[in-house]
Amino acid sequence: MTEVRAAGWLSGRLFGAFCALFFAAWCGVSAAQTNAIESVTSATSGTTTVLRIQMKAPPAAQPGGFSINNPPRIALDFPNTDNKAGQSSVDLPQGDVRNVAIVAAGGRARVVLNLKRPLTYTTSIEGNTVLVSLTPVAIEGTNSAAAATSFSAIRTESNATFALRDIDFRRGRDGEGRVVIDLSGPGVGVDIRQQGQTLVVDFLKSRLPDNLRKRLDVADFGTPIKVVRATQVGDNARLVIEPQGTWEHNAYQSENQFVVEVKPVREDPNKLGGRQGYRGDRLSLNFQNVDVRALLQVIADFTNLNIVTSDSVAGSLTLRLKDVPWDQALDIVLQSKALDMRKSGNVILIAPREELATKEKLELEARQQISEIEPVRTEIFQLNYQKAENLAKLLSDEKQRVLSKRGSAVFDARTNKLFIQDTPSRLEEVRKLITQIDITVRQVLIEARIVEADDRFSRNLGAKLGYNDISSTIYRTVGATDPVTGAVSALNVPVYGSGQKLLGAYSTISGNLRGVQDLSSQNGSDLSGLNAQGLGRLTAADNTNFINLPAPTVGGFNPATFAISLFGSKLTRFLNLELSALEADQRGKVISSPRVLTADQSKAMIEQGTELPFQQATSSGATAIQFRKASLRLEVTPQITPEGNVILEVAVNRDQVGQLTPAGFAIDTRAVRTQVLVENGGTVVIGGIYEQFERNQTNKVPFLGDLPVVGNAFKNNLRRNDRTELLVFLTPRVISDTAMTR
């Protein structure tokens, strides 16, 4: 009869004291010792160490026990057994066993093996001798099949058989999958091992009913477990659990219920206590029908905590845990026995839930009664930074009253003092509250730089082509008065041409003349001696424009011109060509630097600009003059984080005067609103508006404007490329307390 066990990869502290105190606190065992340990020896064969425990009589059953990893130790329990070896510690220098400690108390004996490294062990009984074979433990997590580990070390008689009553699956609150098996009895031997990516659980000498031999697909539950298969293999009932992803498992038994828990790994697999809430050192426990108070004492010795157990805690428990955190083991014990705990410092009080609830209720009722009859006192608080009026409203608010029903708060605005009347306990709470809120408020200086850069380029090309003929005589008709008779008569006076110059001037050719219209606007000159009156008409004009496509102005500037005149040999006919061109390149940058200082979590605003009038209709049908703002405005609310950074909730508006409409001026608006996290003294760009305007325009005479080279005289070209960009830079600086007091 041999059973394989694995010393799990566990952690622990103060194991020696644990063993002694365990038996000292063991209660409920009063039977007389029927057996005794006489000697402990060891032998080594290769990597295997065999420990021989000589008994006075053949043991009735194999010993139970548990193991820890740090330091590596194995504990074996012998019921109804005393220590007759004559010593409590036996040194074994050979093999992987340092020494063996034997402790007897409360009708039981415990043999503790202090190991050099974690080992697996098997136990067997040969007459009066218990043989313990120790071999090196296989490292979990390898690609090969993991070494088989026995979960349960306790068996009843060899011919005993058990059965599985039910198999259930549940999902935990943290996403773990739990396979719950109801057993026919607590003494079922359980062998759990990992083979590759599956878990194999064998229930030794157990029968699986036909209705439970099935395959459960539980992938829809959202746990690491995909499939659970239950089969009968020989004399054993077998469960095969197929998880997915990265996972780890725990297994524990309480009375007739065995639970295999598979949970996802969300942290470093090498870190102990992977699940949130269970961070304790890991241990393995294997007890059958052990007193609950003694089990709690075991956990207390393991954790070095002070556990106070109520007198009403009673009963026994069969518990088998393998490689689980100690706080999870404690939670399992409390849940199985309807217990609860209250922790104060390093002291834990354990009692039934109803008992703790009743005790706390009585304590609260007692406090309430004391507060109703406790005398009141008056205390004066001098406030330095908070307003007494605001704090008085806070303390006396009916919705969230800080003071008791008998308390009151009165303030003096002139001295900024607060007068509180209440019980001493409430006064102490008010004092702590004032200490927390009556403090200086940190301030933040926000510097903003609003940069508006523009790059404007335009190029205009145009031409005018005209013809002028001055071969005919052009006359000016004037009125002449005879000095003798006084009669008025018409007189045609030649101006230029084939005629003779008379008191006027020849027309000058400069660029492209506009023909008749230009000449008809000239005023006549008085004729000396003829007393000329009125304005006559010009006749016989022969001027015309072929093309009139000059370059337009840019920004109020006229284009430059270049004119060429081609004329005949007699200077009577002129062909005029005028070229105009204008190229403008503008680059500018406008920088605005508003700055504002505000307190932490207080909104600040700074604004600069102008108000523009506009007309708005009223309900009576008349119009009224209203004003709208065209300004630069910065609104910011800072919040200083515990790390010293600043959260900015900022709104920036950059408004400019736009086009003039019949109702008033339009407003060109640019705005950005955001929330950013900036380090103290750092600079962040919270927004940028980039605009680019490109325009190419050509006005031409059809067909002629498309001719190479010559076509330039029959068209004008307009090219425009404007680029503008708006950037907003923010720099918060937390003002230190030293700077504020200067």
Q: Is the pLDDT of residue 363 over 80?
A: yes
Pick 487 or 644 by higher pLDDT: 644
Of the pLDDT bands very low, low, confident and very high (cuts 50, 70, 90), residue 204 is confident
**Average pLDDT estimate for 533-543:** 41
- Arithmetic mean of pLDDT over the chain: 75
> How far is residue 478's CA from residue 536's CA, in Å, rounded to a whole number?
6
The tokens for 434 are 């004032």
Lowest mean pLDDT among 100-109, 517-526, 714-723: 517-526
Q: Which of 282, 204, 295 minimizes the C-alpha distance to 250?
A: 282
Q: Which residues pair with 456 in a beta bridge?
A: 586, 722
> How far is residue 112's CA from residue 104's CA, in Å, rounded to a whole number?
11
Contact call for residues 322 and 284 (beta carbons, < 8 A): yes
Of the pLDDT bands very low, low, confident and very high (cuts 50, 70, 90), residue 25 is very low
Tell whether pTM > 0.75. Answer: no
Instruction: Supply φ then ψ for residue 325, to 5 degrees.
Output: -60, 145
Residue 2: CB partners within 8 Å, gap ≥ 6?
A: 122, 123, 124
Which of 31-35, 313-317, 368-372, 415-419 has the highest mean predicted lDDT (pLDDT)? Answer: 415-419
pLDDT score recorded for residue 98: 83
Of the pLDDT bands very low, low, confident and very high (cuts 50, 70, 90), residue 10 is very low
Q: Is the pLDDT of residue 7 over 50?
A: no
Q: What is the pLDDT of residues 240-291, one digit of tens each?
A: 999 988 888 888 787 788 888 898 876 544 343 334 467 778 877 777 777 8
Which of 146-150, 626-630, 647-651 has the highest mean predicted lDDT (pLDDT)? Answer: 647-651
pLDDT score recorded for residue 229: 92
The per-residue DSSP string of 295-343 comes to: HHHHHHHHHT-EEEE-TT---EEEEEEEEEEHHHHHHHHHHHTTEEEEE
By three-state DSSP, how is residue 221 classified? helix
pLDDT score recorded for residue 494: 57
- Three-class secondary structure assignment of 370-403: HHHHCCCEEEEEECCCCCHHHHHHHHCCCCCCCC
Contact call for residues 96 and 36 (beta carbons, < 8 A): no
In order of 190, 436, 551, the CA distances from 321 in angstroms are 11, 48, 96
Which of 150-154, 378-382, 447-451, 652-656 has the highest mean predicted lDDT (pLDDT)? Answer: 378-382
Pick 740 or 336 by higher pLDDT: 336
Length of the chain: 742
**Average pLDDT estimate for 78-94:** 83
